[in-house]
Amino acid sequence: MPVIEKLPSGKQKKNVDARAALLIIQILLPFGLYFSLRWANQAPAMVIAALFVLSMVFVTWLG
Amino acid sequence: MIESLRLMSVSLNFINWMLAFSPVLVVLIMMLGFHWGGARAGGIAWLAAVLVAALFFGAGFELLAVAQIKAILLSLDVFLIIWMALLLFHIADEAGAIRMIGRALPGLTEDRVMQSLLIGWLMVTFIQGMGGFGVPVAVCAPMLVAVGFTPIQAVAMASLGDTWAVTFGSLGTSFQTLMAVTGFSADALAPYTAVLLGIAAFPSGFLVAVIGAGWKSWKKAIPPVLLLALVMGGVQYLLATNGMWTLGSTGAGVVGLAVGFLLLRLPVYRNHTQARPELSLTDQGEDQGKSVWLALTAYAVLVALAFVVNLIPPVKAFLSQVQFSLDFPAVSTRLGWVTIAGPGRSINIFGHPGAILFYTCVISLIVYRSTGYLTAGSLKRILGRVRRSGVNSSLGILAMVGVASIMLHSGMTYLLAEGLSLSIGRDFYPLVAPLIGALGAFITGSNTNSNVLFGVLQTNSAELLHLSVPLILAAQTAGGSVGSVLAPAKVIVGCSTVGLAGEEGVVMRKIIGYGLIPIATVSLAAWLIHILR
């Protein structure tokens, strides 16, 4: 057993999965935003930005 | 974080100042008051930063988007280090290295003061010399836990032990940045900077010792801390003032470790009478038959690779050929704060500290696997643990870096520093200069970014107030060195490796209270130097 491991319960494991998905979304969305802005596509940029804000709200809710 | 900034017109008054401070206040209240984790507190602070920037600082959609995209680049830069540091730690842990350090160190000394100082201060200083952004804390905090300190103690000790070593650490990146943004030479800046950081070394070491061994040990802690602070501060001063500032923290760490091990020869610091049976060398458990030296391969390889990559120019040049970055347009707020067009954070794919950690991981895996220290199922277990520790920490860092970037791009951070500098008169400005450096580093999580942000502001303030500019700039970067270690983003990194992910608020509460002591020491020292000049 490693020195400082915390074994996750089922709920914690689901939380880790949700957080991992959120992390990937939060890393990828800004790149979509970058290329939308670069190609002067305001509408997709707005949608991506809204999704990013929602993901941040979800992070806060998830705790 | 931002390559260049230009102020046109942002009105400075108390309400604007408090509004600019509000995202930081949210982080402090949520983490210190409500004990929220970094991801949750960072998320709500990010939402607050977006609202304040848009409603009160004139930030538009494009500015906020650019700020967030730049934040992602910086976050990726940090993630590379964190994830690879976590991978290395869990590989070493699975191979038994951390447990064996925990058993071997009490074999050298049972004295809690010396154990604390050796890992939490001297080794942290040495590692800071080569790698930044939380690597020393991420590497040393688990070792402290293995020796028997609690996880909260471990993160606090490793963080506070790092406070004095950041400016000349990471091969002097923060110091190099200070020179670049202000135009002052190393000859002008190094003496004051090395003196202030040398003075900060004493409270840094003292706090590590008393957190580890308890306040009752303060008398016992003073002699070794004083000796080691003098030796390390002296070595750093000599290196920095003789053109070798890139090796300031590394050299100090190497000599400090050598003197620290020499001190263990004194009976008073070996203290074998307090032997703790649970850490006996004979109690090898699952590590029976393993060699301590072979188990430590991962860290030996890390040190060797860091030296080779950073100190052999052709190797460094070869690995620095592939860089990833994005170009950004100029953006401005409706209040006139302009961020000039330019590239965002550049990530050196093969020469990045995270890449060096990755090479170390690969070599270590091969060595441990071939010697039987790792078994067939080890890699799956290691990756599972890395994922669990890394995900939550990364979410917290991403939010915190986003807050910092939005504050920078909307002029909020500059307004905070401007308010502090203009409200203080000439006589007391040297007291406040380190606080400005610390504030910048606390918000951005980086001594380097604090120097980028406030280097010019501090220069202008010092010139207007007819103060010694090198002294004020030294105070700026020394304050930044301490402040960067107290930053939520760095505390999250430390917590991730000792099983405290999500409990960063508790740790921050402890660290910030203690961290005010080295900041106050730097402020007082800068003020005294100003008076005595």
Single-letter code of the amino acid located at B284:
Q
Q: Under DSSP, is residue B6 helix (H, G, I), strand (E, B) or coil?
A: strand
Burial class (CB in 10 A: 0-12, 13-18, 19+), B7: middle
The whole-number average pLDDT for the span A17-28 is 93
* Spatial contact of B21 and B48, defined as CB atoms under 8 Å apart: no
**Who wins on pLDDT, B76 or B279?**
B76
Interface of B with A (CB under 8 A): 36-37, 39-40, 42-44, 46-47, 50, 61-62, 64-66, 68-69, 71-72, 75-76, 90, 93-94, 98-99, 102, 142, 145-146, 151, 326, 385, 387-388, 391-392, 394-395, 398-399, 497-499, 502
Q: Residue B324 forms beta bridges with which residues? A: B347
pLDDT surpassing 80 at residue A22: yes
pTM here? Answer: 0.77
* pLDDT of res. B284: 56
Q: Are B519 and B477 in contact (CB under 8 A)?
A: no
A10-30 b/e (C-beta count within 10 Å ≥ 16 → b): eeeeebbeebbebbeebeebb
A60–B69 CB contact, under 8 Å: no
Q: Is the pLDDT of residue A24 over 70?
A: yes
Q: Do B50 and A2 touch (CB under 8 A)?
A: no
Q: How many CB atoms sit inside 10 A of residue B520's CB?
A: 15
Residue B224 — pLDDT band, cuts 50, 70, 90? very high
pLDDT at residue A42 tops 80? yes
In terms of average pLDDT, the best of B162-176, B218-232, B261-275, B427-441 is: B218-232
Instruction: Quick: pLDDT tens for B23-62.
Output: 988 988 888 788 887 888 889 999 999 999 999 999 999 9
Residue B510 neighbours by CB distance under 10 Å: 18
Chain B residues with beta carbon closer than 8 angstroms to that of A63 = 36-37, 39-40, 502
H/E segment holding residue B343: strand B342-343
Q: Residue B47 and residue A53: Cβ atoms within 8 Å?
A: yes
Q: Which of B30, B63, B69, B492 to mutate to test the interface with A (most CBs of A within 10 A)?
A: B69
pLDDT at B517 over 90: yes
Q: What is the CA radius of gyration of chain A?
A: 16
- Give the mean model confidence (pLDDT) for residues B145-160: 93
Q: By CB neighbour count within 10 A (0-12 exposed, 13-18 middle, 19+ buried), where does B483 fall? A: buried
pLDDT single digits (tens) B429-463:
999 999 999 988 888 788 887 887 788 778 878 88
pLDDT score, position B143: 87
pLDDT on residue B37:
79
**ipTM, 2 dp:** 0.87
**pLDDT surpassing 70 at residue A1:** no
pLDDT tens profile B476-513: 999 999 999 998 878 888 888 888 877 888 888 889 99
Which pLDDT does position B443 carry in this prediction? Answer: 82
pLDDT in tens, B12-28: 788 988 999 899 889 88
Nearest Cα to Cα of residue B443 among B17, B28, B13 = B28
**Which of B391, B399, B499 lies nearest to residue A20, judging by beta carbons?**
B391
Tokens of B204: 């840094």
